[in-house]
Structure formats: structure tokens, C-alpha cells
Amino acid sequence: MKSTRSWTKAILTLSLVILLGVGIFGLGVCKSQDETNEPSISEDAEQSVLSEDNEPNAPPIYTEFPFDADEAQRRQDETAEVLGVPIEYENEIGMKFRLIPAGEFMMGSPKVEEYHDYDEILHRVHITKPYYLGVCEVTQKEWEAVMRTTPWRVENHTIEGSDYPATFVSWEDAQTYCERLSEIEGRNYRLPTEAEWEYSCRAGSSMAFCFGDSFSNIDEYAWYYKSVYTDQGHPIEVGLKCANAWGLHDMHGNIYEWCQDWYNSGYYEKSPTNDPTGTSTGKDRVRRGGNWDFFAGIHRSAHRNWGASDDRYDDIGFRVVCSVETSE
């Protein structure tokens, strides 16, 4: 019969074997997570936190990224409920906006992404406040209602119509539009920052497009140049393609959209994490989203384009941000 010491030794040996097995299994799981190509803010981050002042009615700020369409919609619902505002807002001239929750994401693209460019350096960005963004690009009807002009008339590669996007508008023109609309509506309208634009476009996706990495699905979401035999030759009416998970149409393709920022190819390397707005000076302004006259590769969420503030072309327009106003 074994002694008490022998039994004790056997039990300790068995315990050590079990602990080693658990440790090896745990290392295997970590390695599997580390090897994924999915860019992420934090695998263990809580889904939401309140603002620094911890006010009970402060909008939630989400830290987990990437996330799927169901989670994107859940965040919209929760943010709207906390703030007491609608998910979709329509202003006095009929422009529709969707609520974009505050949150974090990885801006730019990994080097392995097809058509990745040198100025798309992957970096973390924190959007600290929710905002409304136009469901579609500003249309000719919406432009005329504010500006009383038709800059696209008699220009090449355009069709006139209420729901066609307003083109041949410069960055300066877009700024004037936002200022006048703000005066008319009594709310704050402006161009989105480049970070806000990409965050809104992705709607939780870390892949090349809001719908994934496959170019095979792009026809469902974007107007773009296919070939000289199938090219439509002009922008198309807004809202005809699928919306992303936050309810935004034409973020990929149709026309380039002006952003607030100056363009700087190296800005990503020193960009602040919270609400980046670009450099204080520059030569050109940022344009995002691709257009009807270019191939599908430039319609990726991370693709960057730029041009002079007074550029006016058939493939450039804009959409606007509207401030979120609560009853308190």
C-alpha cells in the first residue's frame, strides 16, 4: 500500500501535467488570433463606454472594431435612444441624413490589400461625437433650393434631373452651400472630415469595401467605369445602389466627394487619434469615394484623392454633415 507521501507526490505530478496542458492550449489560441489578417482595435475591448464626464445621457462611444451589419444597426439604435433623436433625420428642404454613432476604427488599408497605395497608412482613429451624414450626395434639386444656380448645365457628361448629383461644384462652392444651408435651417452644416467620411463609409468593415473584399459584389453598391462599351458616360441618379450598414448610398462610386481636410500624403503618420482634421494648411483638398469614370480599385473605402479648392469637374460633388441636436 502506497504511503501518504507517495500519494501526495502523485497528485502534484498530475496537477502539473494538467496546468502545462492548459498553458499550451492557451498559447495555441493566442497564436491563432494573432495570425488573423483582420485589422482590429481590440479583441477584448468593451463594446461601449460613456464619455469622460460619465453623464448618464452622454452618447455611447464604441471601441470594438471591426463589426458586422447587425452591430452597426444596434449602435445606431442605442445612440438614438440615449440622445433622444431619430436615426434618420430629414431637413426642411427634404435632405435625408443618417445618424453615425461615435466610435473607433482602423483608418487606411493594410499593405496586402489589393490596390493599396502608399498614402493609406493604417492607423487608429477615434471619432468622439455622433453626427448626421447625408444619405446621398447633394442632388441638383437640393443645390438649386439653396444656391439658385445650375453649374452643371450645358456641361459635358451630365444629365439634368432632380435626383442626379450636383456636379461642377468646387470645394469653395461646397463651403458656401454649407454656410447658406446653415443660415436657412438654423443648424450647423459642414463638409465631413476625411476621417468621418471613411468611418461612415466602412460602417464597421475593415475590408476593402463596406461589403467585403470581393470585387464581384461591387456592381450592387457602386457606379464605376467598366469598359468603353458599358460605361454610362455621366453620373447616375443617387440612391439606386445598395446602402451600407448605416443606410448610406453611393459611398463607393458615382462621384468623388469633397472633404473638409487639406490633403497631405504623410499626415497619417502623425495624425492625432481623436477627431483628426488634417493639416492646417496645404495645396489641395481631399476627395473621397471614387467616381463613374474610374475602375473599381479606386472605389475602396481607404482610397484617397485630391484636387485644388477651385476644381470643377463632371465627376466631383459632395455630401454634408448635419449637427446632432438634442432637446436638452
Cα–Cα distance measured from residue 77 to residue 101, given in angstroms and rounded to the nearest whole number? 9
117: burial class by Cβ within 10 Å (0-12, 13-18, 19+)? middle
Q: Which of 135, 160, 137 is nearest to 150 (CA)?
A: 160
pLDDT digits (tens, 9 = 90+) for 37-84: 445 565 444 444 444 444 667 899 899 999 999 999 999 999 999 999
Tell whether the model's pLDDT for residue 303 goes beyond 70. yes
When the candidates are 3.40.50.300, 1.20.120.420, 3.40.50.970, 3.90.1580.10, the CATH number that belongs to 41-328 is 3.90.1580.10
Contact residues for 16 (Cβ-Cβ < 8 A; gap 6+): none
The pTM of the full predicted model, rounded to 2 decimals, is 0.84
Average pLDDT estimate for 279-296: 94
Tell whether the model's pLDDT for residue 287 goes beyond 60. yes
Q: The C-alpha cell of 292 is what?
A: 463613374
